[in-house]
Amino acid sequence: MTATAYRLTQYARGGGCACKIPPGELEDVVRGLLGSAGPDLLVGLDDGDDAAVVRIDDRTAVVVTADFFTPVVDDAYDWGRIAAANALSDVYAMGGRPIVAVNLVGWPLDELPNELLREVLRGGADVAREAGCHVAGGHSIDDPEPKYGMAVTGLADPDRLLRNDAARPGLPLSLTKPLGVGMLNNRHKQTGEVFPAAVASMVALNRAASEAALAAGCTAATDVTGFGLLGHLYKMARASGVTAVIDAAAVPYLDGARDALAAGYVSGGTRRNLDWVRPHLQSSVGEDELLLLADAQTSGGLLVAGEIPGAPVIGHFEVSGPSTVRVA
Ligand code: CO
Ligand code: CO
């Protein structure tokens, strides 16, 4: 078989989402473990932010994160690019710039050719190069289910971070990429249909969005990944002690996302996201709209408390009320 004869998504157990451990379960697992923020650990485990941040001196902080997942698309090179953009995103989501990354690889040596792994790594290297981030080695294991991602180290100004606990009442809420890649990836896995706009969105770096947020004086942001817009916004609002209000009609979606929903391509992860947020949610829109808002994203955009050029405002933050997220 040629490399293109392999459909990589068929080697993943998950349903086209990034197969994260559900948010509620993860919080139970890590509760009480080490990593609480202290004088120099500026961002630790407390609020489930995107990356850990350690202050080195008054001008320098180190940003550390790791992210990897099973194939979300069949094409090896695209999967590599997506996984790298997604891993780098957590550095951008903290207001940092990535400096060096190492590859994390699980590969079924007996089932998939090494040339295909080479394509995955080539994709990752190309995106890291675009980000100005070195790739230096990594770690690989023989694994029945392929997995790829990166551990990324970056630098940031300790006084200019984008935290998920710094949203304030009155600030607008901006989103820098359309939603819907979870539904489209799920459809791609089931049918083999390719959605180039979804791939283009997932391989796009969040660098420009991060720089724009810092330039605009923003201090709060997070990236939208496996927990969906609702899940990540809920975490941000809860950590900040505010209520987030979403104007559902203002939220941008990729073409085909609504069709994919109507055709039933909703991942289990997306339903778990909605179930997790529902007790804290007040909504005047239908269930379909909520599923779209909860769609598990891979390498999604930044959610920014503030306004930045080119990104639609999709809501705002209010003083904490009876609900943490309100959809209108
Ligand atoms: Co993140
Ligand atoms: Co992450």
For the chain, what is the domain count? Answer: 2
What's the confidence (pLDDT) of residue 268?
92
Q: Which of 100, 129, 156 is the last residue of a domain?
A: 156
Please give the distance, rounded to the nearest whole angstrom, from the Cα atom of residue 66 to the centre of ligand 2: 7
What percent of the chain stands above pLDDT 90? 85
* Ligand 2 centre distance from Cα of residue 52 (Å): 10
Q: Which residues surround ligand 1, an ion (CB under 5 A)?
A: 50, 90, 223
Kindly state the helix (H) or strand (E) to which residue 105 belongs, with its residue range.
strand 97-107
State whether 186 and 114 are in the same domain. no
Tokens at 58, concatenated = 């008054």
Sign of CA dihedral 16, 223, 254, 81: negative
Is the domain of 224 the same as that of 112? no
Assign 3-state DSSP to the chain and report helix, strand, coil percentages, each to 5. Answer: 35, 25, 40
Report pLDDT digits (tens) over 145-196: 999 999 999 999 999 999 999 999 999 999 999 999 999 999 999 999 999 9
**pLDDT value of position 44:** 83
Question: Which CA distances in Å does 256 have to 88, 172, 184, 193, 262?
Answer: 27, 28, 7, 11, 10
Indicate if 171 and 319 belong to the same structural domain. yes
φ/ψ bin of 138: left (φ > 0), alpha (ψ from -120 to 50), beta (otherwise): left
Q: What is the pLDDT of residues 300-320, one digit of tens each?
A: 999 999 999 999 999 999 999
Structure tokens of 170? Answer: 């009155």
Give the domain CATH number at 200.
3.90.650.10
pLDDT above 90 (res 19): no
H-helix or E-strand containing 302? Answer: strand 302-305
Number of the ligand closest to the Cα of 20: 2
Q: Domain ends where: 156, 188, 214?
A: 156
Residue 21, pLDDT score: 81
As a whole number, mean pLDDT of residues 278-301 equals 97
From 69, 141, 150, select the one nearest 106 (Cα to Cα).
141
- 302 pairs with which residues across the strands? 223
Residue-level pLDDT at 116 = 97
Q: How many residues does the chain have?
A: 328
Q: Indicate if 135 and 82 belong to the same structural domain.
A: yes
Same domain, 191 and 147: no
Q: Which helix (H) or strand (E) holds 7?
A: none
In whole angstroms, give the CA distance from residue 155 to residue 21.
28
Indicate if 83 and 173 belong to the same structural domain. Answer: no
Average pLDDT over residues 189-210: 97
Residue 186: name the closest of 272, 290, 285, 259 by CA. 259
Among 24-28, 75-79, 114-118, 164-168, whose mean pLDDT is lowest? 24-28
Q: Catalytic pick from 17, 19, 133, 218? A: 17
| Coil, helix or strand at residue 91 | helix
Whole-number Å distance, alpha carbon 285 to ligand 2 midpoint, is 29
201 lies in the same domain as 152 = no
Whether residue 182 is found in the same domain as residue 280: yes
Q: What is the mean pLDDT of residues 269-279?
A: 96
Phi, psi of 104 (to 5 degrees): -120, 120
pTM passes above 0.85: yes
Shared domain check, 119 and 177: no
The CATH number of whichever domain residue 113 belongs to comes to 3.30.1330.10
Residues 228 and 288 in one domain: yes
| 183 CA to centre of ligand 2 in angstroms | 20
Kindly tell me if the per-residue pLDDT of 2 is higher than 70.
Answer: no
Q: Is 19 a catalytic residue?
A: no
Q: Write the DSSP assignment of 164-217 as a string of letters.
A: SS---TT-EEEESS-B-HHHHHHHHHHH----HHHHHHHHS-SHHHHHHHHHTT
Q: Which amino acid is at 149?
A: G
Task: Give the count of alpha carbons within 13 A of 137, CB side only.
Answer: 1
Name 109's Cβ contacts closer than 8 Å, sequence gap at least 6: 142
Final residue of a structural domain among 128, 156, 184: 156
Span from the CA of 5 to the centroid of ligand 2 (angstroms): 31
pLDDT band at 24 (very low <50, low <70, confident <90, very high): confident
At 1 the pLDDT is 44
Domain range for residue 249?
A: 164-327
- Which pLDDT value is given to residue 33? 72
Residues 147 and 66 reside in one and the same domain: yes
Instruction: Clarify whether residues 137 and 207 are in a common domain.
Output: no
> What does the pLDDT read at residue 28?
82
For the stretch 38-90, pLDDT in tens is 789 998 877 778 899 999 999 999 999 999 999 999 999 999 999 999 999 99
